[in-house]
């Protein structure tokens, strides 16, 4: 157990050093200004590869390669199913904070070690509590701390999927306009990528690049649907594949799917509006009604108390 605590302290110290060693925006600007001045005064032939490497920070030269090597070894030792699941989750979240599969698995392992140490500390500090309370708090600490990396990535996945759902009808309208004007599907995608921004545009751009590199259009679209994991986009891919197989106009299929998406969105908005009164009930009862009761009934209650007190005193 002592070795575990020492390992946790070492990992925490490394992470703290990494956080403190990151240069601020002003420091990076000053360092870049100094590099430009040195490039103007020093001949390029005099700057060797060793000097370029030594000019980097300690974290970039030592710690990042070491952590990358540890993450690579962990990825090799991890089961293939775990790596595939991590890859799918990170792809659905748009690789938040630049995470890769080995780094994400390494963060999971570090979170597990930190959770073990935190749960042990919580269990030791609750010696005076009941056994059930100690066990409950220890398990809660263990689960919460160990699930922090998955929670962060899962939150990124939900946010990105919500952004894609909101942007899909508008981008479909632009695709419809382009295809009805005589452009092909690839040209319409290129026009959308050139005019719009967002996660869905990034996915369209990746799909377009894959098609240009020789991948079948149906496979590229299906991979995009699997990667994003949004039901509306999966339905669009199925509609495009069916239109391609049956020889139906792509513009007509996109128009029909765009109308269906707008109808679904209006229905979803009405559903959210219908349950809004129920969701507002508990905040109103717990937060708003007590304040209203104090404002409305408070003066009357004070007057009644004075009246009753005066009557009792006079009697």
The whole-number pLDDT of residue 249 equals 78
Pair (107, 141) in one structural domain: yes
Residue 104 located in a structural domain: yes
Residue 4 located in a structural domain: no
Classify residue 96 by burial, with Cβ atoms within 10 Å: 0-12, 13-18, 19+: middle
Pair (188, 269) in one structural domain: yes
How many structural domains does the chain have?
2
The whole-number pLDDT of residue 2 equals 47
Pair (164, 140) in one structural domain: no
Residue 228 located in a structural domain: yes
Residue 212 located in a structural domain: yes
Instruction: Please give, one letter per residue, the 3-state secondary structure of the chain.
Output: CHHHHHHHHHHHHHHHHHHHHCCCHHHHHHHHHHHHHHHHHCCHHHCCHHHHHHCCCHHHHHHHHHHHHHHHHHHHHCCHHHHHHHHHHHHHCCCHHHCCHHHHHHHHHHHHHHHHHHHHHHHHHCCCCCHHHHHHHHHHHHHHHHCHHHHHHHHHHHHHHHHHHHHHHHHHHHHHHHHHCCCCHHHHHHHHHHHCCCHHHHHHHHHHHHHHCCCCHHHHHHHHHHHHCCHHHHHHHHHHHHHHHHCCCHHHHHHHHHHHHHHHHHHHHHHHHHCHHHHHHHHHHHHHHHHHHHHHHHHHHHHHHHHHHHHHHHC
Structure tokens at 303: 């007057």
Structural domain boundaries enclosing 193: 156-273
Digit-coded pLDDT (tens) for 85-127: 888 888 888 888 777 777 787 788 888 888 888 888 888 887 7
Pair (244, 172) in one structural domain: yes
Pair (65, 139) in one structural domain: yes
Given 82, 112, 146, the domain boundary residue is: 146
Pair (264, 193) in one structural domain: yes
The whole-number pLDDT of residue 85 equals 82
| CA atoms within a 13 Å half-sphere pointing along the CA-CB vector of 241 | 15
Pair (141, 104) in one structural domain: yes
Residue 9 located in a structural domain: no
Pair (161, 138) in one structural domain: no
The whole-number pLDDT of residue 45 equals 46
Pair (139, 166) in one structural domain: no
Pair (240, 268) in one structural domain: yes
The whole-number pLDDT of residue 53 equals 58
The whole-number pLDDT of residue 310 equals 61
Backbone angles phi, psi at 188, to 5 degrees: -65, -40
Distances from the Cα of 158 to the Cαs of 43, 63, 84, 194, in angstroms? 51, 32, 19, 26
* CATH number reported for the structural domain that contains residue 211 in this entry: 1.20.81
Residue 124 located in a structural domain: yes
User: Residues of the chain whose pLDDT is less than 70?
Assistant: 1-64, 66-78, 80, 309-315
Residue 287 located in a structural domain: no
Residue 279 located in a structural domain: no
Pair (190, 224) in one structural domain: yes
């Amino acid at each position: 157990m002592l070795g575990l605590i020492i390992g946790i302290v070492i990992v925490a110290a490394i992470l703290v050093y990494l956080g403190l060693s990151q240069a601020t925006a002003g420091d990076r600007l000053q360092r870049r200004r100094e590099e430009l001045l040195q490039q103007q005064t020093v001949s390029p032939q005099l700057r060797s590869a060793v000097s370029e490497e030594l000019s980097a920070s300690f974290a970039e030269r030592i710690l990042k390669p070491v952590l990358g090597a540890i993450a690579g070894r962990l990825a090799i030792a991890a089961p293939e199913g775990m790596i595939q699941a991590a890859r799918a989750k990170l792809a659905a979240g748009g690789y938040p904070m630049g995470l890769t599969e080995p780094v994400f698995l390494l963060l999971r392992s570090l979170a597990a070690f930190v959770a073990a140490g935190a749960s042990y500390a919580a269990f030791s500090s609750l010696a005076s509590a009941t056994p059930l309370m100690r066990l409950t708090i220890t398990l809660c600490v263990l689960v919460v701390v160990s699930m922090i990396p998955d929670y962060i990535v899962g939150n990124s996945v939900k946010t990105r999927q919500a952004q894609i759902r909101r942007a899909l009808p508008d981008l479909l309208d632009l695709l419809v306009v382009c295809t009805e004007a005589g452009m092909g599907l690839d040209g319409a995608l290129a026009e959308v990528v050139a005019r719009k921004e967002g996660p869905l545009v990034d996915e369209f751009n990746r799909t377009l690049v894959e098609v240009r590199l020789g991948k079948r259009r149906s496979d590229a679209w299906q991979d995009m649907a699997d990667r994003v994991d949004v039901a509306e986009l999966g339905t669009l891919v199925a509609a495009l594949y069916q239109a391609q197989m049956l020889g139906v106009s792509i513009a007509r299929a996109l128009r029909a799917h765009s109308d269906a998406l707008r109808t679904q969105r209006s229905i979803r908005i009405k559903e959210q509006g219908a349950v809004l009164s129920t969701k507002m009930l508990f905040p109103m009862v717990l937060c708003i009604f007590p304040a209203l009761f104090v404002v409305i009934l408070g003066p009357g209650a004070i007057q009644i108390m004075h009246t009753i007190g005066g009557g009792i005193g006079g009697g």
